[in-house]
Amino acid sequence: MVCIVLFGLANGAKVSLINGFQLLKFLGKGTFGAVYQARREADSKIYAIKKVDTRRMTAKERAEAVNEIRVLASVAGEHVITFYEAFVADDVLYIVTEYAGNGDLLGFLKNKKRAGHLPEATVWSFFIQMLLGTKTMHENNILHRDLKAANVFLCSNTFLKLGDLGVAKVLKHDQALASTQVGTPYYVAPEVWRNKPYNSKCDVWSLGCLLYELCTFRPPFEAESMEGLARKVMKGKYEQIPSFYSQALRTTLAKLLVIEPKQRASVEELLASDEIRSRLNSITDAVSAQSDHHTSEPVNIVSTIAVPRRFNDLTKNLPPSRYDTKDVSPKGIGPGEGAPPSARMPMTPQQQHAYGAQYPGQYPVAGAGAVPPSREIRMVYHAPNGNPNSSRASIFARGGYNPITHAQMHTGASQAYRLSNHYQQQQEYSAQRARVTPSHWY
Query: Is 220 within 8 Å of 232 (Cβ atoms)?
Result: no
Query: Is 15 within 8 Å of 9 (Cβ atoms)?
Result: yes
CA dihedral 344, 345, 346, 348 (to 10 degrees): -150
How many whole angstroms from its chain centre is CA 320? 13
User: What does the DSSP 8-state code read for residue 156?
Assistant: S
Q: How far is CA 364 from CA 171, 174, 175, in A?
A: 51, 53, 56
How many other C-beta atoms are found inside a 10 Å radius of the C-beta of residue 162? Answer: 25
Q: How far is CA 272 from CA 174, 252, 280, in A?
A: 19, 12, 10
CA dihedral 419, 424, 429, 435 (to 10 degrees): -10
Query: Is 386 within 8 Å of 91 (Cβ atoms)?
Result: no
25 labeled binding residue: no
How many other C-beta atoms are found inside a 10 Å radius of the C-beta of residue 224? Answer: 7
User: What does the DSSP 8-state code read for residue 39?
Assistant: E
Length of the chain: 442
Q: What residues contact 281, with CB distance under 8 A and at least 6 apart? A: none
How far is it, in rounded angstroms, from Cα 401 to Cα 407?
Answer: 17
Is 292 an annotated catalytic residue? no
φ, ψ of residue 34 to 5 degrees: the values are -95, 145
- Please pick, among 146, 203, 285, 324, the residue that the annotation labels catalytic: 146
Burial class (CB in 10 A: 0-12, 13-18, 19+), 271: middle
Q: Binding site membership: which residues? A: 51
Catalytic residues: 146
Q: Binding site membership for ATP: which residues? A: 51
